[in-house]
Amino acid sequence: MPAPLWLFRFISTDQAEWLRPDGEVHRGPLADLAGRTGDARLVLVAPGEAVTLHRLALPSRQRSTWARAVPFALEDHLVEDIETLHFALGGTADDGHLPVAVVDRSLLRAWLESCEQAGLVPVAVVPEPLLLPWQSGEWSVLLEEQRALARIGRWEGFAAERDNLALLLAQALAEAGDAKPQRLRVWGAPATELAETGIEIHLEDAPVEPLALFAAGYQPAAVLNLLQGAYSRRAHWGRWLRPWRAAALLAGAILLTQGVEQMYDHWRLQRELTALRAEIERTFKDAVPDATRIVNPKAQMEARLRELAPSSGGGFLELLYQGLQPLANFPNVTLRGLGYRDGQLDLVLEGGNPAVLDQLRQQFDRQPGLRMDMRTTQREGQMESKITLKRTPS
């Protein structure tokens, strides 16, 4: 009889939630989980925000060369230096393509070190999206309170804040072309943001715990395990045995001295690393005060910046250019503030008079592909205007 399966995921650095074989979900310190599992098989659920999933055309016919070729084949699709990333490959090719999961090495190492310090040894680390149920012709979506998970293929998926889900699904549907799904299976909160996808939506009736849903979708032979290469279980035991082999060759006094020095260095570096991570999180919170869940601040910040980049639907920089260009002709009208959200640019103006503001409105109206709404008030003899700009559908 196989050992029981326990799924767990991090809530914070040393806190986790886990699913017992009897279906109960518990939350607490990692050490509490270590004291309950016995000989169970542990599967760490990796947050979808920290892992990117790709389907890559087979780099060569020889499997032995895939691990060396994949990083360079994906280099143009990645923001970070490939030397800092870990690439996990699917066990078999899928329709001429190779599934690949990419995660930051330091982040994966931090997860495994936290597990090791608590006495946990996971048999697999699996990205969240690949644990959602999936079958041909259907995509799966799990809606949590502030975030969402989507599985859009056997080896593809993503995690996002709920405000961005509809936009990302629309982009995925456009890229799918003729391979669009026949329906979306949705678990969790009401899926009002999915109504405009144009795809049939099937709402699963019963409320579900995410870990219970992941456990139902977990199939060891059909998941992408991040524990490969230097992070495989074989490598883990090799790293554990090497210090013992070296200890047999050293005198007791030298071993004790070196051990104390290493413990001190590790303690010092760990404190520096903890302080650095805290500083990164503080910087991210200052830059993105509305973020509700911080998993990988660097990747999340890059995702926020990509949202501001111009796209086929008109992005922040394009709207900003069209919004500021007419203002250059009206020196008596001053820009006091601006804001951008969900494809809408808001400009706050001060100055001018009704005739000048009417001329400004006419210049905005003459710009093709732009919808403008202007509201003007007069306060203490000063004209104040708010202009809202959006791109019109092509």
67, pLDDT greater than 60: yes
Q: Is residue 330 within 8 Å of 352, Cβ to Cβ?
A: yes
Give the per-residue pLDDT at 45.
96
Number of domains in the chain: 2
Mean per-residue pLDDT, 54-80: 83
Q: Are residues 238 and 120 in the same domain?
A: yes
78, pLDDT greater than 50: yes
Give the per-residue pLDDT at 245.
55
Give the per-residue pLDDT at 139.
94
Q: Are residues 224 and 344 in the same domain?
A: no
Q: Are residues 118 and 25 in the same domain?
A: yes
Q: Where is the domain boundary, 209, 244, 279?
A: 244
In a domain, 255, yes or no: no
In a domain, 163, yes or no: no
Q: Are residues 240 and 323 in the same domain?
A: no
54 — pLDDT class (breaks 50, 70, 90)? very high
Give the per-residue pLDDT at 239.
47
Which residue did the predictor score with more confidence, 301 or 122?
122
359, pLDDT greater than 80: yes
Query: Structure pTM?
Result: 0.59
In a domain, 88, yes or no: yes
Rounded CA gap, 281 and 295, in Å? 9
236, pLDDT greater than 60: no
- The alpha carbon dihedral of 21, 25, 31, 36 has a sign of negative
Q: Are residues 103 and 231 in the same domain?
A: yes
Give the per-residue pLDDT at 141.
93
Residues of the chain with pLDDT > 70, as a percent, come to 88
Sheet with 147-151: list strands edge to edge. Answer: 157-161, 147-151, 138-143, 183-188, 200-203
Q: Where is the domain boundary, 244, 279, 302?
A: 244
Give the per-residue pLDDT at 84.
93
Q: Are residues 226 and 342 in the same domain?
A: no
Nearest CA to 217 out of 315, 323, 306, 140 is that of: 140
Q: Amino acid identity of 360?
A: L
Rounded CA gap, 155 and 100, in Å? 8
Give the per-residue pLDDT at 238.
45
Q: Determine which of 122-131, 156-165, 209-218, 299-308 has the lowest per-residue pLDDT on average.
A: 299-308
107 — pLDDT class (breaks 50, 70, 90)? very high
Q: Is residue 310 within 8 Å of 318, Cβ to Cβ?
A: yes
In a domain, 370, yes or no: yes
Residue 383 domain boundaries: 316-391
Q: Are residues 223 and 353 in the same domain?
A: no
Q: Are residues 12 and 107 in the same domain?
A: yes
Q: Are residues 85 and 226 in the same domain?
A: yes
In a domain, 367, yes or no: yes
309, pLDDT greater than 60: no
240, pLDDT greater than 70: no
In a domain, 324, yes or no: yes
Which residue did the predictor score with more confidence, 91 or 171?
171
Give the per-residue pLDDT at 345.
87
Q: Are residues 104 and 6 in the same domain?
A: yes
Q: Is residue 66 within 8 Å of 89, Cβ to Cβ?
A: yes
312, pLDDT greater than 70: no
Mean per-residue pLDDT, 329-341: 86
Q: Is residue 214 within 8 Å of 45, Cβ to Cβ?
A: yes
Rounded CA gap, 100 and 330, in Å? 53
Q: Are residues 87 and 1 in the same domain?
A: yes
In a domain, 278, yes or no: no
Instruction: Residue 350: give its domain's CATH number.
Output: 3.30.1360.100
Q: In this predicted model, what pLDDT tens digit does every residue of 162-210 receive, in sequence order? A: 889 888 998 999 888 888 999 999 998 776 778 777 788 888 877 678 9
Q: Where is the domain boundary, 208, 228, 244?
A: 244
In a domain, 295, yes or no: no
Instruction: Residue 224: give its domain's CATH number.
Output: 3.30.420.380
Q: In this predicted model, what pLDDT tens digit does every residue of 260-285 receive, in sequence order? A: 888 888 888 888 888 887 888 777 77
Q: Are residues 25 and 114 in the same domain?
A: yes
Give the per-residue pLDDT at 106.
94
Q: What is the mean pLDDT of the chain?
A: 83
Give the per-residue pLDDT at 298.
72
18, pLDDT greater than 90: yes
